[in-house]
A = this chain, B = another copy of it.
Amino acid sequence: MIKTPYLLFLGDAPDALKAKVAQGIKDWRPENAVGQFRMEGCKADLGLPDMGLAEARAAGAQTLVIGVANRGGVISPAWKKVLVAALEEGFDLASGLHNLLRDEADLAAVAKACGRELHDVRVPDVDYPIANGVKRSGKRVLAVGTDCSVGKMYTGLALDRSMKAAGRKSTFRPTGQTGILITGEGIPLDAVVADFMAGSVEWLTPDNDADHWDIIEGQGSLFHVSFSGVTLALIHGGQPDALILSHEPTRSHMRGLPDYALPSLEALRDMALPLARVANPDCQVVGISVNTAAMSEDEALACLSEIEARMGLPTVDPFRQGAERLAEALDAL
């Protein structure tokens, strides 16, 4: 529904993590990303060609995707000038922010005048049911993290790639704006009304073939007090057969919460598994994904090896190594 390819708008992102929406598109649909647009002071860089609007249009870009995820989701006034110019230049706009493009009077007016489309992938466009907890056919796997933004989406996308490469049946099921922008479908879980969260996850992962795996994109963390309720709705609505623990070993405190230390992988396992077994008594923890982006190759391999020995579970960095060992762990279930 969103016209490709994209020009990825990084705005004035203060750090690379803030640009994870754009990074995800570039990593998993590189053919859709013709370039990046960065404003003065931008601290993120995807390694794509920096392009102006006219240059990107000439290179074929159809949609300017806001590739920056801000806390609170505000469309900053500093971005407005660029977005208006993009519409005038012939771009559609796509965004996963809480603040909607369509609610900005100036953008809505210019889009209408220019005949362009505004895509707000954050907004639910389905009346989700209340979860009924009924057991569904097919298999489901979910990544749960020690913190937010530790690589759960990457783990899911890499696992989907490994599953498909070996001819296994799988579907990546996005639950956030980046995943929706990458695959074109999914649920914007953090924008769903509380009572319908778990029901939206049931809706996303319906009955399927007995040997089919839904790979559900994880969100938040049971240990992140801002978003833990979203995580639990995902666990109970998804009724996973398998959990993967996700971790970023260099982080000094929970993201955005300086007073909160990260839990250990053992603590995450011991918290998540009993909760998951409320919805699916057969659920197992099958593996661990570690985001070692901040480490050298030697450090990363040592870290993975230490965790694997300690936890007794296949442990990989899916970005460095692919997720084949996690796929094999699902085979073994």
Please list the residues of chain A having a beta carbon within 8 angstroms of any beta carbon in chain B. 71-72, 98, 129-135, 189-195, 197-199, 222-223, 225-234, 236-237, 239, 254, 256-257, 259-260, 263, 271, 274-275, 278-279
Contacts and interface: CB of A to CB of B under 8 A. Distances in A.
B237 A225 contact: yes
A254 B131 CA distance: 13
Contacts of A198: 225-229
Nearest to A225: B236
Given A133-B226, A226-B236, 16 more contacts: A72-B130, A98-B195, A190-B193, A191-B194, A194-B194, A194-B233, A195-B227, A197-B229, A198-B225, A198-B226, A198-B227, A198-B228, A223-B278, A225-B237, A225-B239, A229-B231
A277 to B, nearest CB: 11
A191 B134 CA distance: 23
Nearest to A127: B72
A222 B275 contact: yes
Contact of A131 (B193, B223, B226, B278): B226
A260 B280 CA distance: 10
B278 A225 contact: yes
A269 to B, nearest CB: 12
Contacts of A133: 225-226, 254, 257, 259-260
A71 B130 contact: yes
Nearest to A229: B233
A72 B228 CA distance: 24
16 contacts: A132-B226, A133-B226, A192-B194, A194-B194, A194-B229, A197-B229, A198-B225, A198-B229, A223-B278, A225-B239, A228-B233, A229-B229, A229-B234, A231-B232, A232-B232, A271-B275
A194 B123 CA distance: 12
